[in-house]
Structure 1
Amino acid sequence: MARPDPSEQHRSAPGRRAVLRTGLLAAGGLGVATVAATSPTSPSSAGLPAPDGGLAERPGSSPGTGASGTRSAGDTVAFRGARQAGVVDAPQPFASFVGLDLPPGATRETCARLMRVWTDDIERLMAARGPLTDLEPELAAVPSRLSVTVAVGPGFYDAAGLAADRPAWLAPLPSLPIDRFTDDWPQTDLLLQVRADSPVAVAHAQRRLVVGADPLAVQRWVQRGFREPLTDTRPGLVFRNQFGQVDGTVQPRVDGPDDPLVWIGGDGAPAPKGLRDGSSVVVRRIAMNLETWDEADRTARENAVGRTLSTGAPVTGERASDPPDLLATDGLGFPVIDAASHMRRAMPAEPHERILRQPYSYDDAPAPGARTNTGLVFVSFQADPVRQFLPLQRRLAEADLMNIWTTPIGSGVYAVLPGAQPGEVLGAALLA
């Protein structure tokens, strides 16, 4: 069914919403379907050079190059490509992570309809255009490097009748001694990552995608985050969490050499059905106790981290990029870098134990009687979380001084779908 003329957007939105849902609910299957209405590049951004997106912790990044290998146009990020945006791109300062569940009785057809809706809506939003059912399209009209990344959980595979094709790593992580999970942030069937240079763009896109998904998917939780913006005056600024700790100093290269660490099938090996050029994402919510952190002096903090807080350099070095001297001892013969320091415990024991960290801080309203509700939305991308992420996390759970001040309260593992090439729908190869 042809989708309505966008020129009718303001005066006929309620009717169009019904038409859109009816048409999509009547459509069967997915295959490599063509979206009826595609979004051209925003005229306001065509031909403009992309801002420098290089990060010190991600050496080799190409300024302005998106996940699909295409250059961003001005302040928009390309939606179409072999790989989704929002994985290796320079992280925007504002983000929202939305966990959604499929309704009871959902089928593969339900999943296919949802992907058709989201493909069209996301393409429009990333091109600084409102979706067809958008009653506030002006909120989408300001380009802000918006990117939306879609990932699916184990429940998506079950609903789609694809349990046999689900990769072994797509499951909740094993329980660890430090975990204190609540019922607020469980594993969900779907994950939306929405990032932009503007909190207005994030909030608007999040709402439009959640509302547009109803009743095909229902929002379970939302985690909002922030980080320092990349600016011309501070190029390559490394992320600092709310402890003041430099986070993500050592990262895989995102310009090709470390593709097998981030992208499924990046080494040319066979990939699970429908996931070649996809990835996996781990999202863990980590509460940070700022009250007791305030009681620790600078020496105690740097000993726990294993790095100098001012520069992010190992306590045995001068620059963040300096390799740590793990054999260095002080005058009494004790290791200069504590054996239980976060840096030492997080170091890879094997070459493959590396992940691409894209964390965000949160600072939500505290509960009555509390002073803070602060922490980290820890986000990492990797080709295989069981092989790459889990060994690292187990070492941290066994002995990491930072566990004195941090508590994981939520966790989820998702498969990041490949990108959508022109004429394709997200998840086409998986649901075919």
Structure 2
Amino acid sequence: MDEPDTTVDPDAATATTATTAAATTAAPAAPTTPTAPTAPTTGVSRRTLLGSAGAGLALGATGGALAADAAATHRNTGSAVPAGSAAPTLGTAATPFHGPHQAGILQPQQARALLAAFDLADGAGRDGLRTLMRTWSATAALLAEGKPAGEHENQIALDAGPCALTVTFGFGPSLFDRTGLADRRPAALTPLPDFPGDALDRSRGDGDLWVQIGADDALVAFHALRVLQRQAAGLASLRWQMSGFHRTPGATARPMTGRNLMGQVDGTNNPKPTDPDFTARVFAAGPECPDWLTGGTYAVVRRIRMLLDNWESLPTDRQERVIGRRKSDGAPLSGGSESTPVALDAVNPDGTFAIPADAHVRVAAPAANGGAAMLRRGFSYHDGLLPDGSPDAGLLFVAYQADPARGFVPVQRKLSRGDGLSRFLRHEASGLYAVPPGAPQGGYVGQALLDG
């Protein structure tokens, strides 16, 4: 888990997500591709279909469908809902699938997330992968508008709107050998090194294909994954799956930085999309980047279990010294408010550093890591209890960056060796994926690689 000051806050992506806000009231038309799933109901929303399914069902869904989300506007644009205006309902928020970057990267975290990896079937090859990505992209575009999936539609989310659904696809290092594309694998797509303290379960990491699904409704997220899994039959099989959650839009009276399961404000003072070096830090480009990935990015995925029983046994002031910030409001121990820059040279009256030597914010400070930065879009998880009775809970860490060798890797090396917080964390799964740029209307994710 990285100090927020080294990462990019997607909740602050006001300039980049303006198109998302416009889509909350008018979703674009579904793309047409040669292999797009089709069904008689294509173009009809799931909610409209419900009306013909029976009045009893419609009445049963009314309460959830009409739950007003007063934070929906600032969720998508960073601005408050104007006084006296009608806030959009939670389910109506929509994020277009097509665009220069894949959806699910620059948008704020949704309330629910599913992360999954697939392995390509033996013999599927490049042609099979092309077929799969065409189908998946067409399906994701339909679901992002709140429309039925077409092929393999199961009606799980029939009574819901789009609920800010996003589907993001990535390619693992192993995919290129399995499709005869080893010569087009990016040099930066090298499996992550082992870090001190790692306790990785290899069966829950890596994979040929990676999928990130986010939505503000759990059924909408599950529906998307289930449809994609069935559409992959014969071409790819599920390798692992993880479920996460984030604060639900509108849960706080005003927009606030979220908290993790340790109770810490997580995401303070992150770089913003308006910063001049934002694009260079997040999106791949340059002579070392293959043409098909230009405008894409790399996703590091880590399952980080928090030792919550140990953490919660510490008094609050000890927790704050481990992090370097006040727990109540996220302000640095060097003084000020949440947004005040951390003063690493500040001292207490007794001459000791206000920010301890092994505090998370000090060890992970950008100045101590060559300015390394990542766009972080993580989700909390809780999967019950372990055999010893401790909670299996923590963070599904997802970080997007232009080059993991200059972003995640050096920061994690330093954290694993000198961060006081590492005593309360266990890194249990890991993966690195090349995330292609977004697909244009009528195209599919990865087309420049697979058709080139």
Q: Please classify the TM superposition score into its range, dividing by the shorter chain length.
A: 0.7 to 0.9
Q: CA deviation at 1:270?
A: 6.7
Task: Report what 2:261 is aligned to.
Answer: 242
Corresponding residue for 1:340? 358
Aligned to 1:186: 205
Shift in Å at residue 195 of structure 1?
Answer: 0.3
Assess if the C-alpha contact under 8 Å between 2:37 and 2:150 holds in 1: no
Show structure 1 runs of 5+ residues with no match: 1-31, 65-72
What is residue 147 of structure 1 aligned with on the other side? 166
Match for residue 283 of structure 2 among 244, 263, 271: 263
Match of 1:411 among 417, 421, 430: 430
The one-letter code sitting in structure 2 at the alignment partner of 1:305 is I
Query: How far has the Cα of 1:341 moved from its partner?
Result: 0.7
By how many angstroms is 1:233 displaced?
4.4
SS of match in other structure, 1:373? strand
Indicate how the Cα distance of structure 1 residues 142 and 100 shifts in structure 2: closer, same or farther if over 3 A, else same: same
Q: Is the 8 A contact 1:77 1:147 kept in 2?
A: yes
CA contact (8 A) 1:278 1:415 kept: yes
**Aligned twin of 2:449:** 430
1:207-286 equivalence runs, <5 A: 207-231=226-250, 233-255=252-274, 257=276, 258-265=278-285, 271-286=289-304
Once the 2 structures are TM-superposed, how far is the Cα of residue 96 of structure 1 from its aligned partner?
Answer: 0.5
1:269 to partner: Cα distance: 6.2
Q: Percent identity?
A: 35
> Cα offset for 1:355?
0.8
Q: 2-side partners of 1:141 and 1:77: how far apart?
A: 18
Task: For residue 193 of structure 1, give the secondary structure of its aligned residue in structure 2.
Answer: strand
What amino acid is the match of 1:82?
A: P
Counterpart code for 2:396: V
TM-score with structure 2 setting the length: 0.79
* Residues 152 and 230 in structure 2, CA contact (< 8 A), matched pair in contact too: no
Deviations 1:174-218 (A, max 9, x none): 111121112342211111100000011111111111111112111
Structure 1 residues 53 and 391, CA gap change in structure 2 (3 angstroms): farther
Q: Which AA in structure 1 matches 2:73?
A: D
What residue is the counterpart of 2:15 in the other structure? none
For 1:386, give the aligned amino acid: A
2:328 corresponding residue in structure 1: 310
Number of aligned positions between the proteins:
385
Unpaired segments ≥5 residues, structure 2:
1-31, 49-69, 82-90
TM-score, L = length of structure 1: 0.82
Q: 1:384: which partner in 2?
A: 403
Conserved? CA contact 1:290–1:405, under 8 Å: yes
1:127 deviation in Å?
1.3
Higher helix share: 2
Aligned to 1:151, the other structure's residue is in SS state strand
Of 33-42 and 402-411, deviating more is 33-42
Cα distance change of structure 1 residues 352 and 364 upon mapping to structure 2, 3 Å threshold: same
- C-alpha displacement of 1:338: 0.8
Change over 3 Å in CA distance of 1:180–1:167 after alignment to 2 = same
- The residue number in structure 1 matching 2:108 is 90
Residues 136-164 of structure 1: per-residue CA shift (max 9 Å, x gap) = 33614522111100111011122222212
How much does 1:326 deviate? 0.7
Q: 1:281 touches 1:381 (CA, 8 Å); kept in 2?
A: yes
Question: Quick check: 1:51 aligned with 2:69?
Answer: no
Alignment correspondent of 1:396: 415
Q: What amino acid maps onto 1:219 in structure 2?
A: L
The partner residue of 2:377 within 358, 368, 380 is: 358
Q: For residue 220 of structure 1, what is the amino acid of its counterpart? A: R
Identify if the C-alpha distance between structure 1 residues 419 and 35 changes in structure 2 by more than 3 Å, giving closer, same or farther: farther
Contact 1:128 1:141 in 2 (8 A): no
How far apart are 1:53 and its partner, in Å?
4.4
**Do the aligned residues in 2 keep the contact of 1:251 with 1:357 (CA within 8 Å)?**
no
What CA distance in whole angstroms lies between the structure 2 residues aligned with 1:54 and 1:332? 44
